[in-house]
């Protein structure tokens, strides 16, 4: 028995002596397989915002180097197989959800934020769960190692146990690719607080080997590692620095992803995607500082100052000694490393609007718009939506419109509204939150309802999106209406006096006019596109009129000034206000003191096809049929007395497809005008459509309004023409005059002549008659001799040129 005991003891001693050798051989093999390891800089006690955060010593450096050098799964780790086809899974994630590689950092920071959210929530009921010292600091740290091509992201969140690592980092793979796709499409909420799901796998866009080191309060520290080759491994972590609590992810970057080791690149990504994460994000960065170092002896001043002659000058002597001490040092540049805070812009939308100052809103607008001018936004709206769909939003009206706002309006998918989900930036190209006509607004929406890790196409189908869009539109229109309400120029006469008494602030005077000049076309496009909010948008319309004296007025102001008995809102369209003011269509309206709205923007023609009425008042184009200015007892008599003339004139104009000739109730000084049918194109609309680049005249014919010639029964030309027709209906002079008057009326009414040559010939004939030139007079013909001489000279010149050219060709050949 004793012999066996001695033998066992000797065997045990031999075994123990071999263990260190095996360990050293293992490390030597790891060091030999990897690239040369460069020790990362040590974190000194006195440097950095978090001095103990990632403090290192020689042992920690050695352990981290050994871990970093590994490019294969640890032999001692417990292996697990992904139960789904990983290549298929990666194909779905990379191609369907993550076409942009930059967002891997967004996903990791988002997951870290969720883990911090969870530990903070648990700490509300158990304060000891956070621990003490650095563990109690809820923050995210980013560190890069250029030598080893490793990027690390660390948080002090809830952390994960071994079971959590298996479950959370294997859930998507175990569920199968088809189940994963179905879940993403049908699930209303993918709550990934403290877990790693779809977003985590985006790391393989930039890394070929990933380590996840995690420590939960209820378990030991473990390492999860995988190369996305169908397997992952988990082992107890005995070689890395103890985390205390939380998770650190190390990405061993691909060769083509080395740009993510640049400090500037990481800073830009964090500020773009995670600027408003609710926890501080630090990066371990370098910077140069000036430090005092001892100067060389030969640079110091060897000459001593002469002694003072009096005891009363001791203070001066001490001062000179201090200066001499300073002269023995010099300033040099030294590179130091410290934690730099990246997300220093406060998330003002998370605060109460009452707590945010105007200066803070302006600063926040500049950070969103990347606008570094001194211009303030015209207005803003900050609100929290509650109920079935909860979200926070801040909207801004920019001071100026972008130069390309209306270029490719219907083809562009540009949006100035940033979408956040739980303070994580999702997209600034998501154009489904606001309609196109409001795409000039800047701002952001932060939703707690929308899922985080889904594609843009999936978000479009989310049930909460319509509710968010509806509330945003209403708030946006209220914000624009508020600009008008606060503008003193928009007040009525009585309200203006009250405002002058209550405030001397002139900042908001004329602000709605400025808004209208910049974004008025967007309001008009909204009336065309948004039937639900058409009446709200109509209240925001502004225009000039025949009584506005160059100022902009609203439809409400127009209605308040309507004459008693006036049932319609009168308007006219044209290319300019100056042209419309001289229009013959306004003659009778002005005489009877009616106000007429001027629409001079090409989009106004489309606008009025959709805006049929406002506040139970119909719109009436004064250049079209159907104008009613009250009853006149003499109208019937006039129509009857000019019945023969109108009938004759219609027959005379049969060549131009004139639909009718009528006695007009809108003319005063003009003999005649041409109006169009109520539902056809106006003259202005015809001109707009004909100027289109790809217009097709054959397809536009059916949209042209029927033309009606209206004559002024009080005009002397019309009266004289009627008398001539009564005497002789075949009078050629009368027919010529009737045709010329119609063509002139077409021009004056805004139409384009189909045969301008014929019209010009008639004008010239009229000029001849006024100058008593015979109608038989012809143009004097050119002398034939001069023509022949000129022709021969031209032929000689051409022959000379040809001869000279031939000579030059011969010389070139020689």
User: Distance from CA of residue 418 to its chain's centroid?
Assistant: 8
Q: What are phi and psi of 141, to 5 degrees?
A: -125, 135
- pLDDT-derived band at 36 (thresholds 50, 70, 90) equals very low
In this predicted structure, the answer to whether residue 518 has a pLDDT above a threshold of 60 is: yes
Which pTM does this prediction carry? 0.65
Averaged pLDDT, 263-282:
84
In this predicted structure, the answer to whether residue 50 has a pLDDT above a threshold of 60 is: no
In this predicted structure, the answer to whether residue 417 has a pLDDT above a threshold of 50 is: yes
The Cα–Cα gap between 710 and 638 comes to 13
Of residues 40 and 596, more confidence is placed in 596
CA-to-CA separations, 403 to 378, 400, 440, 522, in angstroms, rounded: 17, 9, 11, 14
Q: What angle do CA 710, 713, 718 make, to 5 degrees?
A: 85
What residues have CB less than 8 Å from 726, skipping those under 6 apart? 644
Residue located via tokens 């001066």:
316
The Cα–Cα gap between 403 and 416 comes to 14
Closest CA to 221 of 242, 192, 195: 242
- pLDDT-derived band at 140 (thresholds 50, 70, 90) equals very high
Which region among 127-141, 142-156, 384-398, 686-700 has the lowest average model confidence (pLDDT)?
Answer: 686-700
Of residues 10 and 354, more confidence is placed in 354
185-194, 461-470, 695-704, range with greatest mean pLDDT: 461-470
- pLDDT-derived band at 324 (thresholds 50, 70, 90) equals low
- pLDDT-derived band at 455 (thresholds 50, 70, 90) equals low
The Cα–Cα gap between 671 and 681 comes to 23
Which region among 195-199, 227-231, 643-647 has the lowest average model confidence (pLDDT)?
Answer: 195-199
| Tens of pLDDT, residues 693-731 | 776 766 666 667 788 999 999 999 999 999 999 888 888
Q: What's the alpha-carbon Rg for the chain, to the nearest Å?
A: 43
- pLDDT-derived band at 168 (thresholds 50, 70, 90) equals confident
Mean pLDDT of the chain, nearest integer: 77
The Cα–Cα gap between 376 and 367 comes to 12
Element (H, E) at 287: strand 281-294
Of residues 632 and 416, more confidence is placed in 416
In this predicted structure, the answer to whether residue 498 has a pLDDT above a threshold of 90 is: no
In this predicted structure, the answer to whether residue 591 has a pLDDT above a threshold of 50 is: yes
- The answer to whether residues 232 and 225 touch, using CB atoms and an 8 Å cutoff, is yes
CA-to-CA separations, 378 to 52, 337, 386, 507, 536, in angstroms, rounded: 47, 43, 26, 10, 20
The Cα–Cα gap between 542 and 597 comes to 10
pLDDT at 30: 35
- pLDDT-derived band at 77 (thresholds 50, 70, 90) equals confident
Of residues 132 and 45, more confidence is placed in 132
The Cα–Cα gap between 456 and 461 comes to 9
Which region among 271-275, 580-584, 676-680, 691-695 has the lowest average model confidence (pLDDT)?
Answer: 691-695
In this predicted structure, the answer to whether residue 110 has a pLDDT above a threshold of 90 is: no
Of residues 752 and 327, more confidence is placed in 752
pLDDT at 319: 54
The Cα–Cα gap between 94 and 202 comes to 7
**Residue 447 bridge partners (DSSP):** 391, 421
Closest CA to 669 of 593, 583, 599: 583
DSSP character string of 6-71:
HHHHHHHHHHHHHHHHHHHHHHHHHHHHSPPP-PPPP--TTSSSSTTTT---HHHHHHHHHHHT--
The Cα–Cα gap between 419 and 403 comes to 24
- The answer to whether residues 423 and 446 touch, using CB atoms and an 8 Å cutoff, is yes
- pLDDT-derived band at 525 (thresholds 50, 70, 90) equals very high
Q: What is the 3-state secondary structure (H, E, C) of 599-666?
A: ECCHHHHHHHHHCCEECCEEEEECCECCCCCCCCCCHHHHHHHCHHHHHHHHHHCHHHCCCEEEECCC
In this predicted structure, the answer to whether residue 813 has a pLDDT above a threshold of 50 is: no
pLDDT at 521: 94
- pLDDT-derived band at 277 (thresholds 50, 70, 90) equals confident
Of residues 61 and 274, more confidence is placed in 274
Total number of residues shown for the chain:
814
pLDDT at 188: 33
In this predicted structure, the answer to whether residue 55 has a pLDDT above a threshold of 50 is: no
Closest CA to 179 of 157, 151, 202, 198: 198
In this predicted structure, the answer to whether residue 118 has a pLDDT above a threshold of 50 is: yes
Pairing of strands 207-215, 222-226: antiparallel
- The answer to whether residues 444 and 383 touch, using CB atoms and an 8 Å cutoff, is no
The Cα–Cα gap between 407 and 578 comes to 27
pLDDT at 747: 93
pLDDT at 43: 35
In this predicted structure, the answer to whether residue 70 has a pLDDT above a threshold of 80 is: no
Averaged pLDDT, 217-230:
86
pLDDT at 593: 92
- Three-state SS for 408? coil
In this predicted structure, the answer to whether residue 170 has a pLDDT above a threshold of 50 is: yes
pLDDT at 478: 95
Pair of tokens at residue 315: 């203070």
How many other C-beta atoms can be found within 10 angstroms of the C-beta atom of residue 487? 18
In this predicted structure, the answer to whether residue 95 has a pLDDT above a threshold of 50 is: yes
| Tens of pLDDT, residues 529-563 | 999 999 999 999 999 999 999 899 999 999 999 99
Averaged pLDDT, 440-449:
89
Closest CA to 749 of 707, 721, 704: 707
- Three-state SS for 194? coil
Pair of tokens at residue 219: 């378990």
In this predicted structure, the answer to whether residue 14 has a pLDDT above a threshold of 70 is: no
Averaged pLDDT, 768-777:
85
- The answer to whether residues 397 and 380 touch, using CB atoms and an 8 Å cutoff, is yes
- pLDDT-derived band at 107 (thresholds 50, 70, 90) equals confident
The Cα–Cα gap between 750 and 623 comes to 10
- pLDDT-derived band at 776 (thresholds 50, 70, 90) equals confident
Residue located via tokens 């025949």:
546
Averaged pLDDT, 391-416:
83
Which region among 200-209, 303-312, 427-436 has the lowest average model confidence (pLDDT)?
Answer: 303-312
91-95, 553-557, 652-656, 763-767, range with greatest mean pLDDT: 553-557
pLDDT at 53: 39
| HSE-up of residue 185 (Cα within 13 Å, Cβ side) | 7
pLDDT at 491: 67
pLDDT at 551: 92
The Cα–Cα gap between 676 and 625 comes to 6
Looking at the chain, the whole-number percentage of residues with pLDDT higher than 70 is 71
The Cα–Cα gap between 596 and 558 comes to 9
Which region among 316-325, 606-615, 737-746 has the lowest average model confidence (pLDDT)?
Answer: 316-325
Looking at the chain, the whole-number percentage of residues with pLDDT higher than 90 is 31
| Tens of pLDDT, residues 191-223 | 222 233 457 777 888 888 899 999 998 899 999
The Cα–Cα gap between 239 and 63 comes to 5
- Three-state SS for 581? helix
What residues have CB less than 8 Å from 143, skipping those under 6 apart? 54, 151, 152, 154, 283, 284
- pLDDT-derived band at 90 (thresholds 50, 70, 90) equals low
pLDDT at 798: 64
- Three-state SS for 356? coil
pLDDT at 438: 93
Q: How deeply is 649 buried, as exposed, middle or buried, from its count of CB atoms within 10 A (0-12, 13-18, 19+)?
A: buried
In this predicted structure, the answer to whether residue 124 has a pLDDT above a threshold of 70 is: yes
Closest CA to 40 of 190, 261, 188: 261
Averaged pLDDT, 266-293:
83
pLDDT at 297: 52
Sign, CA dihedral 29-30-33-35, equals: negative
């Amino acid at each position: 028995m004793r012999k066996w005991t001695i033998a066992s003891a000797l065997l045990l001693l031999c075994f123990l002596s071999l263990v260190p050798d095996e360990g050293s051989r293992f490390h030597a093999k790891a060091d030999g397989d990897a690239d040369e390891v460069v020790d990362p800089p040590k974190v000194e006690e006195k440097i950095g915002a978090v001095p103990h955060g990632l403090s290192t010593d020689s042992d920690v450096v050695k352990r981290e180097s050994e871990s970093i050098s590994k490019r294969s799964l640890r032999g001692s780790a417990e292996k697990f197989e992904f139960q789904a086809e990983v290549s298929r899974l990666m194909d779905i994630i990379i191609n369907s959800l993550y076409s942009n590689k930059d967002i891997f950092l967004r996903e990791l920071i988002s997951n870290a934020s969720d883990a911090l959210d969870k530990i903070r929530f648990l700490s509300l009921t158990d304060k000891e769960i956070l621990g003490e010292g650095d563990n109690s600091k809820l923050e995210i740290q980013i560190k890069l190692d250029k030598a080893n091509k490793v990027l690390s992201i660390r948080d002090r969140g809830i952390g994960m146990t071994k079971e959590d690592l298996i479950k959370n980092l294997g859930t998507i793979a175990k569920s199968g690719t088809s189940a994963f796709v179905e879940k993403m499409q049908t699930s209303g909420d993918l709550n990934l607080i403290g877990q790693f799901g779809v977003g985590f796998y985006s790391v393989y866009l930039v890394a070929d080997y990933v380590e996840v080191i995690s420590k939960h309060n209820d378990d030991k520290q473990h390492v999860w590692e995988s190369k996305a080759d169908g397997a992952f491994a988990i082992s107890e972590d005995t070689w890395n620095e103890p985390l205390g609590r939380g998770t650190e992810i190390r990405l061993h970057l691909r060769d083509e992803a080395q740009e993510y080791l640049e400090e500037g690149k990481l800073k830009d990504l964090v500020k773009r995607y995670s600027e408003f994460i609710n926890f501080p994000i630090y990066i371990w960065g370098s910077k140069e500082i000036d430090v005092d170092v001892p100067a060389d002896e030969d640079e110091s001043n060897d000459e001593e100052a002469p002694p003072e002659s009096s005891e009363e000058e001791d203070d001066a002597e001490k001062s000179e000694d201090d200066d001499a001490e300073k002269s023995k040092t010099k300033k040099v540049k030294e590179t130091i490393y410290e934690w730099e805070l990246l997300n220093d812009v406060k998330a003002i939308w998370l605060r109460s609007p009452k707590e945010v100052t105007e200066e803070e809103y302006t600063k926040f607008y500049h950070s969103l718009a990347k606008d570094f001018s001194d211009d303030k936004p015209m207005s803003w709206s900050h609100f929290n939506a509650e109920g079935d769909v909860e979200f926070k939003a801040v909207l801004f009206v920019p001071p100026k419109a972008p130069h390309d706002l209306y270029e490719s309006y219907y083809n562009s998918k540009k949006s100035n509204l940033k979408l956040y989900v739980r303070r994580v930036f999702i997209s600034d190209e998501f154009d489904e939150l606001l309609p196109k006509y409001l795409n000039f607004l800047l701002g952001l929406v932060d939703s707690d309802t929308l899922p985080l890790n889904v594609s843009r196409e999936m978000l479009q189908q989310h049930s909460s999106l319509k509710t968010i869009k509806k509330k945003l539109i209403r708030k946006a229109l209220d914000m624009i209406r508020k600009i008008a309400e606060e503008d003193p120029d928009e007040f009525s006469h009585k309200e203006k006096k009250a405002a002058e008494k209550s405030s001397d602030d002139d900042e908001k005077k004329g602000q709605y006019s400025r808004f209208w000049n910049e974004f008025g076309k967007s309001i008009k496009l909204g009336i065309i596109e948004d039937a639900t909010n058409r009446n709200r948008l109509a209240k925001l319309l502004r225009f000039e009129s025949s009584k506005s004296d160059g100022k902009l007025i609203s439809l409400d102001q127009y209605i308040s000034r309507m004459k008693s008995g006036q049932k319609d809102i009168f308007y006219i369209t044209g290319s300019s206000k100056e042209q419309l003011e001289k229009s013959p269509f306004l003659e009778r309206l002005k005489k009877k003191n009616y106000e007429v709205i001027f629409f001079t923007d090409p989009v106004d023609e489309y606008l009025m096809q959709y805006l049929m009425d406002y506040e139970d008042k119909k719109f009436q184009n004064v250049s079209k049929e159907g104008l009613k200015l009250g009853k006149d007892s003499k109208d019937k008599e006039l129509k009857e007395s000019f019945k023969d003339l109108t009938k004759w004139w219609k027959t005379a104009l049969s060549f131009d497809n004139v639909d009718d000739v009528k006695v007009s109730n809108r003319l005063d000084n003009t003999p005649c005008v041409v109006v169009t049918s109520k539902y056809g194109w106006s003259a202005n609309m015809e001109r707009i459509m004909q100027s289109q680049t790809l217009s097709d005249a054959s397809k536009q014919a059916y949209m042209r309004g029927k033309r009606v010639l209206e004559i002024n029964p009080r005009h002397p030309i019309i009266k004289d023409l009627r008398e001539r027709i009564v005497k002789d209906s075949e009078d050629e002079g009368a027919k010529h005059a009737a045709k010329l008057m119609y063509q002139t009326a077409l021009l004056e009414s805004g139409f384009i002549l189909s045969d301008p040559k014929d019209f010009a010939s008639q004008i010239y004939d009229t000029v001849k008659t006024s100058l008593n030139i015979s109608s038989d007079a012809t143009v004097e013909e050119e002398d034939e001799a001069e023509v022949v001489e000129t022709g021969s000279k031209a032929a000689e010149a051409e022959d000379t040129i040809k001869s000279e050219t031939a000579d030059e060709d011969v010389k070139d050949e020689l």
